[in-house]
């Protein structure tokens, strides 16, 4: 009897990294889960919420709640900040709305970030993945501090065969993304990103693994602009590298 989950792929992965979405599906299926993808899903509404535009964030959140209300089972989000938005942002957004608050809470309760779900709910830390090479791990802010998820992705990466996991210096420091912050305050965002890039270089790993599409876009955007060889990748891309693949 296999478990069925609902995938909320997030707008960033949908539009910028569809191959990450494919890797997420593969990882979940390898963990023995049936993946459903509710049609009509768009964005969680975090950009408007973070900008302070709650009147604009609410209709997007309502849309997302409606899409997943029609489904059953856990909602899995391969991004720490989007999962945190649903778990903590939605109840805040509808705090004074008698109709929508319970609906928001119901969705919040069944929503999990990908690695959190794999490790805490399924009890899986070894997916038979194989990745020859050095990796380092960037602890994304919302994942780490808002969801309290840190040991889970690390345990999953430790389970990857042939991968050498090295510690990223100051891994818990923000990469400077912060959503709308990165475009509203590019100067500060840049200064923060430079510190992150210097630490990535110091780790000597060619790949930095993250569980958030926002951090990946930010870190890669800076690495690419500066002509650096390192890249940020989503954890699912590593976990999907299995040795029985043809």
Partner 1 sequence: MPDTFHEQIRTALDNPTLQMALDGNAERRLKALNQAFATLPENREALRQRAHAVRAHTIAHLDHYLDQFIANAQANGLIVHQAVNAQEAVGIVLQIARGAHSKVVAKSKSMVSEEIHLNHALEAAGFNPVETDLGEYIIQLRGEPPAHIITPAVHLTRTQVGKTFAEKLDIPFTEDIPTLTATARKVLRRTFLEAGLGLSGVNFGVAETGTLTLVTNEGNGRMCTTLPPLHVALMGIERLVPTLDDLALMLYLLPRSATGQKLSVYTSLIHSPRRPGELDGPDERHLVLVDNGRRAMRQSPLMEGLYCIRCGACLNACPVFREIGGHAYQAVDGRITPYPGPIGSVVSPGLFGVPEFGHLARASSLCGACKEACPVDIDLPKLLLRVRAAGADLEGYKKTSGLSTQDKAGTQPSVKLRSHVPLGMRLSLRGFAWIASSPALFSMAQRLAGFFSRIISPRSEWLRLPRFTGWGYSKDFPRPTTRPFHERFATLAAVPSANEYRAIPAQPTGQFEPAAETKPVSHEALVDRFCEELTVLGGAARRCTVNELAGGLLEDLNDLGITALQAWDEEHFPAGLIPALRLGGILVQATPDPTLRAGLTGALAGIAETGTLVLPGGGGRPQTASLLPEIHFAVLRQTDLVQTLVEALRLPGLRDFPTIVLVSGPSRTADIEMTLTIGVHGPRELRVFIV
Question: Which of positions 39-58 make contact with partner 1 (CB under 8 A)?
Answer: 39-43, 45, 47-57
- In angstroms and rounded to an integer, the radius of gyration of the C-alpha atoms of the chain is 18
Q: Does 101 bind partner 1 (CB under 8 A)?
A: no
The candidate with the shortest Cα–Cα distance to 200, out of 149, 166, 235, 234, is: 166
For the record, the structure tokens of 9 come out as 């792929």
* 167 touching partner 1, by CB under 8 A: no
Nearer to partner 1, 16 or 106 (CB): 16
Q: Which stretch binds partner 1 (CB under 8 A): 99-107, 144-152, 161-169, 201-209?
A: 144-152
Give the C-alpha separation, 234 to 19, whole Å.
10
Contacts with partner 1 by CB under 8 A: the residue count is 93
CA distance 199 to 16: 25
Tell me which residues in 58-77 interact with partner 1 (CB under 8 A): 59-60, 62-63
- For 246, counting Cβ atoms within 10 Å of its Cβ (0-12 exposed, 13-18 middle, 19+ buried), the class is exposed
> Contact at 8 Å (CB) between 215 and 175?
yes
| Contact status: 123 vs partner 1 (CB under 8 A) | yes
d(CA 25, CA 117): 13
CB of 165 to partner 1, least distance (A): 15
Site string for partner 1, 176-205 (x = CB under 8 A): xxxxxxxxxxxxxxxxxx-x----------
Segment near partner 1 (CB under 8 A); pick from 16-24, 104-112, 161-169, 201-209? 16-24
Contact set for partner 1, span 17-36 (CB under 8 A): 17-18, 21-22, 25-26, 29-32
Does position 169 interact with partner 1 (CB under 8 A)? The reply is no
For partner 1, the closer CB: 32 or 132: 32
Q: What angle do CA 124, 163, 208 make, to 5 degrees?
A: 95
């Amino acid at each position: 009897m296999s478990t069925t989950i609902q995938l909320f792929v997030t707008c960033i992965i949908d539009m910028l990294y569809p191959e990450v979405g494919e890797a997420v599906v593969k990882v979940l299926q390898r963990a023995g889960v049936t993946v459903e993808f509710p049609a009509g899903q768009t964005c969680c509404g975090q950009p408007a919420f973070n900008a302070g535009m709650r009147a604009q964030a609410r209709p997007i959140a309502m849309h997302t709640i409606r899409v997943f209300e029609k489904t059953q089972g856990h909602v899995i989000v391969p991004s720490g900040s989007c999962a945190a938005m649903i778990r903590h942002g939605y109840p805040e957004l509808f705090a004074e709305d008698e109709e929508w608050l319970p609906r928001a809470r119901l969705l919040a309760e069944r929503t999990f970030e990908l690695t959190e779900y794999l490790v805490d709910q399924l009890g899986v830390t070894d997916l038979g993945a194989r990745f020859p090479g050095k990796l380092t791990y960037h602890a994304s802010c919302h994942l780490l501090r808002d969801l309290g998820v840190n040991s889970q992705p690390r345990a999953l990466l430790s389970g990857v065969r042939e991968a050498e996991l090295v510690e990223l210096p100051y891994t818990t420091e923000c990469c400077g993304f912060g959503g709308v912050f990165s475009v509203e305050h590019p100067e500060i965002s840049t200064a923060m990103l430079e510190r992150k890039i210097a630490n990535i270089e110091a780790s000597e790993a060619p790949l930095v693994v993250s569980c958030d599409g926002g951090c990946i876009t930010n870190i890669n955007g800076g690495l690419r602009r500066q002509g650096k060889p390192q890249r940020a990748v989503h954890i699912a891309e590593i976990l999907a590298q299995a040795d029985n693949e043809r």
